Structure 1
Amino acid sequence: MTQLIRFRTEDGGEAVVEVSEDEPGIVAVSRLGDAIADATGSLEEGLNRIRGIAQTTLNRLISLPRPPEEVTVEFGVRLNATAGAVIARTETEGHLKVAMVWRARTGGSAQD
């Protein structure tokens, strides 16, 4: 069975995401009017956690003694009622598939 979770966005919008009922933070609802549970934080708050993970990954990879000329990082992001956004166990398990590519720039770093 699945449950719907509503994430508010900072601009006043909302996103509804389907999650498994056994997802942490899901509380079973008993009334029909409560068919959509509200997430505890905004979508942006959850995604900021993922942004930090991506930035840390990039920083560590480009600081290698022989940094790669190109770095590609792919991962699945799963949305959760209480945690916001988390890295999924597998890419296919995620609600969002994120692929990021950094290319070395002539005369600069991938962070420029």
Structure 2
Amino acid sequence: MNRKQIAEFSLEDGTKFLAEVDEPENSNALTRVARSDTGQMVVEAKKKFDEVLDQIQPVASAIITKLSQMNTPADEVEVKFGIKLNAAAGAIFTSVSGEANYEITLKWKQDKA
């Protein structure tokens, strides 16, 4: 079972927030810092959170691009995928339910003519 730890992520504007993450196998590569408000030891994430989101954007764009190229494009598209934060690697896609990494729902509305 993976051990959990608290990682501190930063936004581009300098805002910091904490997230519970799985402890990586090589935790020696991470910088441990103490939070002044709690004194709790946390690890400093290697990437800014905005950079983590940059890993997700191309995947979402590729899905939307392919689905919009259908012969009869859907009126609504919903894509669900799980993201696991990792202090060293950033974002890792995880399963939403069962073995599927992506759950895609397409909806077409009937013509009301």
Q: Report the TM-score, using the length of structure 2 for normalisation.
A: 0.66
CA–CA separation in structure 1 for the residues paired with 2:41 and 2:59 = 32
CA–CA separation in structure 1 for the residues paired with 2:26 and 2:51 = 16
1:76 aligns with 2:78: no
Structure 2 residue aligned with 1:65, among 57, 66, 71? 71
Unmatched tracts of structure 1, length 5 or more = 92-98, 105-112
CA–CA separation in structure 2 for the residues paired with 1:47 and 1:61 = 21
The percent of aligned pairs where both chains have the same amino acid is 29
1:9–1:43: 8 Å Cα contact kept in structure 2? yes
Q: Report the TM-score, using the length of structure 1 for normalisation.
A: 0.67
2:74–2:106: 8 Å Cα contact kept in structure 1? no
CA–CA separation in structure 2 for the residues paired with 1:39 and 1:74 = 25
CA–CA separation in structure 1 for the residues paired with 2:58 and 2:25 = 22
SS of the equivalent of 2:54 reads helix
Amino acid at match of 1:11: D
1:76–1:89: 8 Å Cα contact kept in structure 2? yes
CA–CA separation in structure 2 for the residues paired with 1:103 and 1:12 = 40
Structure 2 counterparts to residues 1-112 of structure 1, below 5 A: 1-21=3-23, 23=24, 26-27=27-28, 33=34, 35-90=41-96
Unmatched tracts of structure 2, length 5 or more = 35-39, 98-102, 109-113
CA–CA separation in structure 1 for the residues paired with 2:20 and 2:48 = 16
Distance 1:101 1:15, change over 3 A: farther
Say how many residue pairs are matched: 96
2:5–2:20: 8 Å Cα contact kept in structure 1? yes
CA–CA separation in structure 2 for the residues paired with 1:2 and 1:11 = 27
Distance 1:13 1:4, change over 3 A: same
Question: Shift of the alpha carbon at 1:100?
Answer: 9.6
